Amino acid sequence: MQKGHTTALLTSGWLQDRAGCFFVPGMRRLRRLPSYTPPARSFFLRQGYACSAVSRAIAFVLVGGVVALPPQMAHAQTAGAVVPSGTVTQSTTSADTHASITPNTAPSFSDTDTRQIASQRAVYDLTLTEASGGKTLSATGTMLYSVRHGCSGWSTQQRLDIQSVTRQNGVEHMVSDYSTFESADGHSLIFRTMETSNGKLLQNIRGEATLHADGSGTAHYEKPLAKTLTLPAGTLFPIQHTVSILDAARSGKTEISAPIFDGTSPDGAADTYITLLGWGNTTPTTDFAALNALQSGRVHVAFFARTPPNMMPEYEIGMRYFANGVSDNLTLDFGDFRMKGTLHALDLPKPETCHTKPHQKKN
């Protein structure tokens, strides 16, 4: 994406509409300055990259990334009620290629502690803030993100629903569903991604991935084509990747790098270069008291394709992360129009109580 969420999808060059996707035939390289302040993700696409990259950037917005799921999973409701804006409830239900610019390496999953990430269900209202070129007449949408910490791992779901009206294609309705299950030890990931435009299936990705102690591993795809890809050493799954960012921010680091695999692309892992733009008390404050009590910081993430290796990012993202993994202040930039994401509702369920089996003595 990212991940964004929490998310600005910033393209340069002229966009062409193509079956609900956005392509950039010609693009000037943009570089985000360290002084940029908006918590926005900038998204870079070159010609030939489909709109699945849009979903990948958005997916990274919140807790590293989440994947699209099949219809029966997309509409599953997580525990905990969605509440009005400004209210937080406590639910009672249960990169070698870029080494020259990446001086710090993210810790491996064996060094991270995912317990700092809070289970959450966040709803964002998306509204049009700017349109250029006269192509987009209106755009509205909603983004729903949920993550639950269970005894065996993390389950995440994200649904992005955007409806726009353009002069060329009329009404365009894009829906992206993404879901994952990441094991508590960070060694395995089950991923599902589905994208549609005006009811037409654009992409369906599903499979499983596993990592060894050094972060190397394999990704086994069931769809769109059955295949197995190798994951490079140091690869992190979404939750572990987010935790490494938060750990680095708290420790005072200004930049880290690590490959990430989130299952949103059929091309395997991507390299990431993360710039940390400060960490401290939350300013400005939010409408959610539970977030204001936490420290936060701005994060900028650049994504690089590993095959073929490229020193220029495919896209970049930025957001404000809170210490519990929640993100706010979303900005989505689709090139010819921009949307603002407002955190409308936030539910923070209580963590699941896990019990270990008592040790049984042998006779």
pLDDT at position 35 over 80: no
Q: How many CB atoms lie within 10 A of CB 115?
A: 10
pLDDT at 26: 24
The whole-number pLDDT of residue 50 equals 39
Give the pLDDT score at 99. Answer: 32
Which range has the top average pLDDT, 19-33, 85-99, 342-356?
Answer: 342-356
Residue 240 pLDDT exceeds 50: yes
Residue 343 has pLDDT above 50, yes or no: yes
Q: Is the pTM of this model over 0.75?
A: no
Give the residue with greater pLDDT, 272 vs 20.
272
Task: Return all residues near 146 (Cβ < 8 A) that are at least 6 apart.
Answer: 78, 120, 121, 122, 156, 157, 158
Q: Tokens 């804006």 identify what position?
A: 85
* Span 238-263, average pLDDT: 93
Lowest mean pLDDT across 139-148, 261-270, 307-316 = 307-316
pLDDT digits (tens, 9 = 90+) for 173-221: 999 999 999 999 999 999 999 999 999 999 999 999 999 999 999 999 9
Judge whether 46 and 315 are in contact, CB under 8 Å. no
Whether 353 and 362 have beta carbons less than 8 Å apart is answered as no
Tokens representing residue 155 in the block:
């389950």
Cis peptide before 232 (omega within 30 of 0): no
Share of the chain above pLDDT 70, in %: 64
% of the chain at pLDDT higher than 90: 42
Rg of the chain over CA atoms, in angstroms?
Answer: 19
Q: Which of 64, 93, 95 is nearest to 80 (CA)?
A: 93
Strands 337-347 vs 88-89: parallel, antiparallel or unpaired: parallel
In 3D space, the residue among 356, 324, 65 whose CA is nearest the CA of residue 192 turns out to be 65
Average pLDDT estimate for 22-47: 27
Range 126-140 burial, b when 16+ CB lie within 10 A, else e = bebeebeeebbeebe
Nearest CA to 46 out of 267, 264, 305, 260 is that of 305
pLDDT tens digits, one per residue of 97-135? 333 333 355 554 444 566 788 999 999 899 898 887 778
SS3 (DSSP) at 354: coil
Tens-place pLDDT, residues 142-161: 999 999 999 899 999 999 99
Cβ-Cβ contacts under 8 Å for 313 (sequence gap 6 or more):
44, 273, 302, 303, 304
Please report the pLDDT score of residue 341 as a whole number: 80
Identify the pLDDT of residue 3.
Answer: 37
pLDDT of residue 354: 81
Work out the pLDDT band at 330, boundaries 50, 70, 90: confident
CA dihedral 322, 327, 333, 334 (to 10 degrees): 140
